[in-house]
Structure 1
Amino acid sequence: MASRICDSVLVTGSNRGIGLELVRQLVDSPTPPVQIFAGCRDPNGQRSQVRNHANTIQKSLTYTTSPTSIAEASKLVETKLKGKGLNLIINNAGVNIPGSLAETGKQEMVDVYTTNVVGPMLIAKDFHPLLCKAAAQFPHQTSMSCSRSAIINVSTLLSSITTCPENFSVSPMYPYRVSKAALNMLTRCLAEDLKKDGILVMSLHPGWVQTEMGGPKAPLTTAESISGMMKVITSLTEKDTGTLLDWEGKNIPW
Structure 2
Amino acid sequence: MSRKLGGNILVTGTNRGLGLELVRQLIQVTSNKDHIYACCREPEGSGAEALRELANENPKRITVIKLDTAYESSISAATQALGERVGTCGLNLLINNAGINKLHGSAPLSATGGCGMMEVYQVNVVGPFLLAKHLLPHLKRAAEQMSLKHGGQGGHMSCRRSAIINISSLLGSIEKCPENFHIAPMYAYRTSKAALNMMTRCQAEDFREHHILATAIHPGWVQTDMGGKEAPLTSQDSVQGMLSVMSSLSDKDSGNHLDWQGNSIPW
Q: Structure 1 residues 13 and 32, CA, compared in 2 at 3 Å: closer, same or farther?
A: farther
Separation (CA, whole Å) in 2 of partners of 1:188 and 1:33: 32
What is the CA–CA distance in structure 2 between the aligned matches of 1:172 and 1:90, rounded to whole Å? 26
Residue 237 of structure 1: aligned partner: 250
- Quickly say closer, same or farther: Cα 1:121–1:165, change in 2 above 3 A: same
- Secondary structure at 1:137 match in 2: helix
Matched residue SS, 1:5: coil
In the alignment, which residue of structure 1 is the partner of 2:125? Answer: 117
Moved more, 75-84 or 143-152: 75-84
| Structure 1 residue aligned with 2:53 | 52
CA contact (8 A) 1:61 1:70 kept: no
Change (3 A) 1:35 1:72: same
Separation in structure 2 between the aligned mates of residue 33 and residue 180 of structure 1, nearest angstrom: 34
Q: Bigger CA drift: 154-163 or 24-33?
A: 24-33
Name which of structure 1's ranges 40-49 and 145-154 shifts more when overlaid on structure 2: 40-49
Structure 1 residue 97, shift from structure 2 partner? 2.4
2:200 corresponds in structure 1 to 187
Query: 1:25-44 residue pairs with structure 2 within 5 A?
Result: 25-29=25-29, 31=31, 34-44=34-44
* SS of 1:210 mapped into structure 2: coil
1:86 aligned residue: 91
Q: Find the aligned partners of 1:131 and 1:72 in 2 and give their Cα distance.
A: 17
Find runs of 4+ consecutive structure 1 residues off by over 6 angstroms: none
Q: AA paired with 1:105?
A: G
- Aligned partners of 1:161, 1:80: CA distance in 2, in Å? 40
RMSD: 1.3
Distance of 1:72 and 1:21 partners within structure 2 = 25
- What is aligned with 1:225? 238
Q: Which amino acid aligns with 2:178?
A: P
The equivalent of 2:82 in structure 1 is 77
Q: Which residue of 1 aligns with 2:150?
A: none
Output the CA distance in 2 between the equivalents of 1:178 and 1:91. 17
User: When the two structures are superposed, what TM-score results if normalisation uses the length of structure 1?
Assistant: 0.96
Q: Which has the higher helix share?
A: 2
Provide the rounded CA distance (Å) in 1 between the counterparts of 2:38 and 2:138: 16
CA distance in 2, matches of 1:152, 1:143: 16
- Deviation, 1:29, is 2.2
In 1, Cα distance between equivalents of 2:189 and 2:260: 19
- Structure 1 residues not aligned, in runs of 5+: none
Counting matched residue pairs gives 253
CA contact (8 A) 2:220 2:259 kept: yes
Alignment of 1:85-234 (within 5 A): 85-98=90-103, 99-139=107-147, 140-234=153-247
Moved more, 161-170 or 99-108: 99-108
How far is the alpha carbon of 1:28 from its aligned partner?
2.1
